Amino acid sequence: MFDLQHNSKGLVAHGVSACAGCGMELIMRNVLDVLGEDTIILIPPGCSALFSGFGDVSGLKIAGFQGNLENTAACAAGVRAALTAQGNTHTTVVAFAGDGATADIGLQSLSGALERRDRIVYICYDNEAYMNTGTQGSSATPYYASTTTTPAGKPTAKKNLVQIAIAHDIPYAATASIHNLNDLRKKVQKAKDTDGPAMLHIQSPCPSGWKYDPAKTIELARSAVQTGSWILYEYEDGKVTINNKPKELKPVEEYVGSQGRFKHMTKEQREELQQLTTKNYERYIKQLESMNN
Ligand SMILES: Cc1ncc(C[n+]2csc(CCOP(=O)(O)OP(=O)(O)O)c2C)c(N)n1
Ligand SMILES: [Mg+2]
């Protein structure tokens, strides 16, 4: 449908209707840039479905289809199996799913594909809620964030998706952030080259759901890492590398202070969040480092 020679560079077509400042759009562009044309993409309902398009019109210049919220990884595994049956080992099969589609509704399907060691690249862009349907809380929504289903702030912590993936003994898993696109792109390349399932968990700031100025998307992504709210690391064949370990964490307020989803928090709650974030960060870094012993 699209003339690759004629259109501008990249595998995303013009006029995609993502919100201004959408982190996920930047992730999609970079992921496809690295994976290249010889890729089939599976997209569930959610904001990334803006790219799979409507009817016979697609926002992407590669093949793919939209499945259900429950079965992105199973769809990807099916496509891989069909390609393998045809003798095709060169095409990359990528699943590109939100946090709700990954950590909640499609978790069983992801678990099955990881356990079977299906050779797929599974990417979860994590905007930390069910954004496409109006910001309902998911299990990836962080502690204290306000959503329409957690208006007074989520009372529980964020689910640790990468640890769940690693528990399946897969060859490659990593987290990434759009403030460091070189690191993100390297990880996409490694995922592509992995012989078996590879999983990337990428934080995706969302101006509409997190309620901040769309110009601040990259700044917020950076601040999440600098405050210890998002940890950058990768797991390769049993070995963990922490890609960014700040000597001293910046105050969490620098990250949450400009986001409307945290504005209901009292001074005491902010102090509590600071303590929790530092404690979780230190504990998790220790846990990751101990995996190399
Ligand atoms: C089983 C099922 N439940 C609910 C829906 C409605 N629905 C469509 S998109 C969506 C939000 C998905 O959230 P997420 O996966 O985090 O992606 P995001 O919209 O945040 O990009 C929901 C709840 C659905 N399509 N299927
Ligand atoms: Mg989401």
Domain boundaries, the chain: 23-290
As residues whose CB is below 5 A from the ion ligand 2, the structure lists: 98-99, 127, 131
What does pTM read for this prediction?
0.96
Q: Over range 261-279, report the average pLDDT.
A: 98
What is the rounded CA–CA span in Å between residue 32 and residue 125?
A: 14
State whether the beta carbon of 45 lies less than 6 angstroms from ligand 1: yes
**Cα-atom radius of gyration of the chain, to the nearest Å?**
18
Closest listed residue to residue 164, CA positions, set 127, 115, 105:
115
Nearest atom (ligand 1) to Cα of 126 = 16
What is d(CA 95, CA 169) in angstroms, rounded to the nearest whole number? Answer: 19
CA dist., res. 80 & res. 22, Å (int): 30
Q: What is the pLDDT of residue 7?
A: 42
The number of the ligand 1 atom at minimal distance from the alpha carbon of 105 is 1
Q: Is ligand 1 within 6 A of the CB of residue 23?
A: no
Average pLDDT for 14-20: 86
Looking at this protein, which amino acid is placed at residue 157?
A
| Model pLDDT, residue 150 | 98
Tell me, in angstroms, the distance from the centre of ligand 1 to residue 271's CA: 33
- Whole-angstrom CA distances from 233 to 172, 253, 293 are 11, 23, 16
Domain topology for 23-290: Rossmann fold (3.40.50)
Tell me what pLDDT residue 3 has: 39
